[in-house]
Amino acid sequence: MKDLTEGKEGKLIWRFAIPMLIGNVFHQFYNIVDSWVVGNYLGKEALAAVGASFPLIFLLISLVMGVSMGSTIIISQYFGAKNLDKVRMTIDTLYIVLFFGSILITIIGISFSKLIFELIKLPPEVIPDAVSYFNIYISGAIMMFGYHGTTAILQGLGDSKTPLYFLIISSLVNIGLDMLFVVQFGWGIEGVALATVIAQAGALFTAIIYLNRTHKLIQIRFVNLKFDTEIFKNSFRIGIPTGIQHALVSLGMLAIFRIVNDFGTAAVAAFSVAVRIDSIAIMPAINFASALGTFVGQNMGAGKLERVRSGLLATFRMTGVISILISVVVIFFGAHLMSFFSNDPEVIAIGKVYFQVVGSFYIVFAAMFVFTGVFRGSGDTLIPMFITLVALWVVRVPASLIFSKFFGVVGIWYGLPTGWIFGFVLSMIYYFRGNWKSKVIVKKHEIEPEVELL
Residue by residue, DSSP assigns 171-211 as: HHHHHHHHIIIIIIT--HHHHHHHHHHHHHHHHHHHHHHHH
Q: Letter for the amino acid at 325?
A: L
Residue 452 — pLDDT band, cuts 50, 70, 90?
Answer: very low
Tell me: pLDDT of 59 over 80: no
Q: 3-state class of 103 per DSSP?
A: helix
Calpha distance 157→75 (Å, rounded)? 7
User: Which residue, 263, 269, 278, 258, is CA-closest to 344?
Assistant: 269
Tell me: pLDDT of 166 over 80: yes
Tell me: pLDDT of 201 over 70: yes
Angle at which helices 265-281 and 306-339 cross, to 10°: 140
**pLDDT reported for residue 218:** 67
**pLDDT reported for residue 445:** 43
DSSP string over 125-142 = TTHHHHHHHHHHHHHTHH
402 half-sphere exposure, CB direction, 13 A CA radius: 9
For the chain, give the percent of residues with pLDDT over 90. 23
Give residues with Cβ within 8 angstroms of 267, minimum separation 6.
Answer: 260, 261, 350, 409
Calpha distance 418→360 (Å, rounded)? 12
Backbone CA torsion sign across 90, 93, 99, 101? negative
**pLDDT reported for residue 25:** 76
What's the length of the chain?
454
Q: Does the pTM exceed 0.75?
A: no
**pLDDT reported for residue 325:** 95
Give residues with Cβ within 8 angstroms of 433, minimum separation 6.
Answer: none
Q: Confirm if 24 and 291 have CB atoms less than 8 A apart.
A: no
**pLDDT reported for residue 99:** 87
Calpha distance 198→177 (Å, rounded)? 9
Q: Find the range with the poorest average confidence among 25-34, 72-81, 188-197, 425-434.
A: 25-34
**pLDDT reported for residue 359:** 92
Residue ranges of alpha helices (H) inside 219-302 are 229-261, 265-281, 283-301
| Residue 208 Cα distances to 21, 227, 425, angstroms | 22, 20, 42
For 131, phi then psi, to 5°, come to -65, -45
Residue 18 — pLDDT band, cuts 50, 70, 90?
Answer: confident
User: Which residue, 235, 275, 195, is CA-closest to 89?
Assistant: 235
Q: Confirm if 294 and 76 have CB atoms less than 8 A apart.
A: yes
Of 29 and 7, the structure prediction assigns the larger pLDDT to 7
Q: Letter for the amino acid at 68?
A: S
Calpha distance 236→216 (Å, rounded)? 27
User: Which residue, 312, 367, 373, 362, is CA-closest to 20?
Assistant: 373
For the chain, the maximum distance between any two Cα atoms, rounded to a whole number of angstroms, is 65
**pLDDT reported for residue 448:** 46
User: Which residue, 242, 194, 246, is CA-closest to 37?
Assistant: 194
Cα dihedral: 454, 292, 164, 366 (round 10): 180
**Mean pLDDT for the chain overall:** 83
Helix (DSSP H) and strand (DSSP E) numbers for the chain: 16, 0
**pLDDT reported for residue 451:** 39
